Structure 1
Amino acid sequence: MELQLLKCPGCGAKLPPPSSPNGILTCDYCGAMVSAKGAAIWPKPARPADDPPFAPDRPRVTVANTRYVLLGRLGRGDGSDVFLARRDSRITELVVLKVARALVDKDLLAHEYEVLEDLQRTKAQGAEYFTRLLPQPVARGTVKDPEGVARAALVYRWTSGFQHTLADVREVYPDGVDPRAAVWMWKRALELLGFVHRAGYVHGAVLPPHLLVHPRDHGLMLIGWSSAGKIRNLMPLVATSASHRDFYFDAMWDGGGVPTPASDVAMCARSIAWVLGGDPATGSVPSHVPAPLAELLRAQHTSSGGSGLEVDAWSVKELVSTAAQEAFGPPSYVPFTLPGWR
């Protein structure tokens, strides 16, 4: 008995066994008609047209031979513009595109990318978790602006939910956030800084626009890595944010001091004091902030950043937990909302 496996000549799909030697089969997938002997008796269907392009009216840029569709602006830093984009192909992904405005800043972006690549490769304790809370490099290259000028650009993976900075939080809560919310922001930031320091790096610019929060999950990401450096080879900051002068220490601002783990922890405390409605220059906070937290913020503001002493972010995080326990009792989940979140 002869067995014959029939396949559709139009699309390659398997055909069911014919009911008779001279029967006619119709492919369920593409509609082609085939004789029981396998010969096509109806023309093969034309190749289906490609899918229509996604949002053809939106601008497109190419980085490292990959084209991206710009979906909107995420933020504007001192030297860069940051956009949400998606790869312009059928199999796509969302990305963050960071583009330098000034041509001279290309070295800063290159340095940032190299630091983050190194951190993604680190074997420091907790890397499997904490590297997801850092920008994850995808590609780097240049993009051409509307005038045809090539500007340095970086592409990072998009992490859903992390779309609000502490600067955005202060705009929504101009009188300061609930101190209970500031506690989890502070603790998440210190945990991440603890990992970064143990991986051998300092961030150097722990500022409100570089701290992204996830309001529902009480998570935090750290971005803005152009000032980062290795602890064993610390150098003065090559760039500072003029709009955030009060978050730096005088020696760092004047170029005579170098960023250290202690300065990262202290700048973090200044950012938390600010988002509470306080003054980063003095560490003072509004009177509604419980005394244990207010005292700890002032202590971190005055003793960490300029002292040169060894400071461990994990130890400071435990101090925050103790102060929060004294102020609010046992830990509990407190809902925190921002525009776009329920």
Structure 2
Amino acid sequence: MTTDEAIALVNAARAPEDLFGGDAPNRDYRRLARLLHPDLAAGAGAAAAFVRLAELWAARGETIRTGRGTYRIGGVFRRGATAVLYESGGDTLLKLPLRPADNDLVRREAAALRTIEHEGDPRLLPYVPRLVESFRYRSDGTVRQACVISRVPDGFLTLAEIARRRSPLDPRDAAWIWRRLLVAIGTAHRAGVVHGAVFGHHVLVHPVEHGLVLVDWSQSVPLGSPLTALVSRHRDEYPPGVFAREPATGALDIRLATRCVAGLMGLGPDGAHGTDRTGGSGRFPSRMRAFVRGSLLSPPRDAWRLLAELDELLGDLYGPRTYRPLDL
């Protein structure tokens, strides 16, 4: 490689993994540094490229190597109450618990995603993150359970973000989100997994492409087991049976999912009150309100049956389904 080729390579890089994503990142860095170092290469172009090379190397962060791959602990992508998601290069994210005491939550997420992948319908797997790898990670004498998962493509927003940008939604806009959310939890239930924390910040949707991904499975449990971990800031949204350690069924996820959708529509937590506005398109259909209320007060255990009933209602109210971009 010549100095000019090294300059072009560094200038074209947009992220550390563009230069150091191979099997020998230290060797790649030293090779480029020798070609670009101001003491060895003349010219402003080489000097600027050397500065850029140093910046990318510093931004690279610590690297974890396993038997299956190499992952960079990059910048913080999202910080939660119990874990942090780090940029790890490419289309993946690295999840590490804040405290070793929460290692079980990361293990639980890995187990849930693995089960859904093995037992779920392959056509519906895009509704949940893909587990790339799970392993134990030691740093500074502390052992944490790590989880590498697929990254949701750009353009997705959480339901919480959508609610802040535009609320209430027209029932027709909320309906496609509800339909896809029922598919996501229905896929998990068929695989024997209850998500246990279907809240707005765990549901990602693409307003234009109408994609949906249900994330953060760290509170999940096998179907029929009681929840053992709760999201503390949503404590008031759990049904009483959760605190009585009753077995978790599909009805729990359906109730929480319906609360998400009811909030998007401007309805109250019981579906019985709230605004009648629908973004300028008229009054809220009374049959839709009754359907939401029934799904909250007496949620079924079968997400697929509820989806079929919802589709029948939507057909009666609005006719054949048509594409509606969600304008935010």
1:212 to 201, 204, 224: 204
The aligned amino acid for 1:62 is T
TM, length-normalised to structure 1: 0.71
TM, length-normalised to structure 2: 0.74
Contact 1:83 1:98 in 2 (8 A): yes
Greater than 6 Å deviation, 4+ residue runs: none
Is it true that 1:325 corresponds to 2:315 in the alignment? yes
Unaligned runs of 5+ in 2: 2-27, 34-52, 278-283
**Structure 1 residue 322 displacement after superposition:** 2.4
Q: Structure 1's 196 and 177: CA in aligned 2 closer, same or farther, altered over 3 A? A: same
Residue-by-residue CA offset, 1:125-183 (whole Å, 9 max, x unaligned): xx2221222111112335678x875543311122314632111211222x322322110
Instruction: Determine helix, strand or coil for the equivalent of 1:97.
Output: strand
Instruction: Determine helix, strand or coil for the equivalent of 1:274.
Output: helix
Q: Structure 1's 337 and 144: CA in aligned 2 closer, same or farther, altered over 3 A? A: farther
The aligned amino acid for 1:83 is Y
2:266 to 263, 277, 280: 277
The aligned amino acid for 2:72 is Y
- Give the equivalent residue in structure 2 for 1:70: 74
* Partner Cα distance (1:80, 1:277) in 2: 31
* Partner Cα distance (2:55, 2:276) in 1: 52
The aligned amino acid for 1:156 is I
- Give the equivalent residue in structure 1 for 2:20: none
Which range moves more in the overlay, 107-116 or 160-169?
160-169
Residue-by-residue CA offset, 1:91-111 (whole Å, 9 max, x unaligned): xx2212222122211011112
For residues 101-120 of structure 1, the aligned pairs below 5 Å read 101-120=98-117
Residue-by-residue CA offset, 1:292-328 (whole Å, 9 max, x unaligned): 2211110000011xxxxx6321111122222223333
Q: Structure 1's 212 and 293: CA in aligned 2 closer, same or farther, altered over 3 A? A: same
* Partner Cα distance (1:279, 1:64) in 2: 49
1:180 to 172, 191, 210: 172
Which range moves more in the overlay, 315-324 or 292-301?
315-324
Instruction: Determine helix, strand or coil for the equivalent of 1:188.
Output: helix
Q: Percent identity?
A: 27
- Give the equivalent residue in structure 2 for 1:56: 57
**Structure 1 residue 290 displacement after superposition:** 2.3
Instruction: Determine helix, strand or coil for the equivalent of 1:221.
Output: strand
Is it true that 1:312 corresponds to 2:315 in the alignment? no
Larger Rg: 1
Residue-by-residue CA offset, 1:46-99 (whole Å, 9 max, x unaligned): x994595782232523345423152452x333322223330xxxxxx2212222
Query: More helix by proportion, 1 or 2?
Result: 2
Contact 2:71 2:88 in 1 (8 A): no
Q: Structure 1's 106 and 336: CA in aligned 2 closer, same or farther, altered over 3 A? A: same
Q: Structure 1's 119 and 63: CA in aligned 2 closer, same or farther, altered over 3 A? A: farther
- Give the equivalent residue in structure 1 for 2:37: none
Q: Structure 1's 267 and 283: CA in aligned 2 closer, same or farther, altered over 3 A? A: farther
Instruction: Determine helix, strand or coil for the equivalent of 2:126.
Output: helix
Contact 2:73 2:94 in 1 (8 A): no
The aligned amino acid for 1:335 is P
**Structure 1 residue 260 displacement after superposition:** 0.5
The aligned amino acid for 1:139 is E
Contact 1:292 1:326 in 2 (8 A): no
- Give the equivalent residue in structure 2 for 1:155: 148
* Partner Cα distance (1:55, 1:277) in 2: 46
Q: Structure 1's 118 and 264: CA in aligned 2 closer, same or farther, altered over 3 A? A: same
Residue-by-residue CA offset, 1:191-228 (whole Å, 9 max, x unaligned): 12222212222222211121111221111111121222
- Give the equivalent residue in structure 2 for 1:23: none
Q: Structure 1's 69 and 101: CA in aligned 2 closer, same or farther, altered over 3 A? A: closer
Aligned length: 273
1:128 to 122, 126, 135: 122
* Partner Cα distance (2:145, 2:244) in 1: 26
Contact 2:100 2:142 in 1 (8 A): no
**Structure 1 residue 115 displacement after superposition:** 1.8
- Give the equivalent residue in structure 2 for 1:4: none
- Give the equivalent residue in structure 2 for 1:226: 218
2:294 to 285, 290, 299: 299
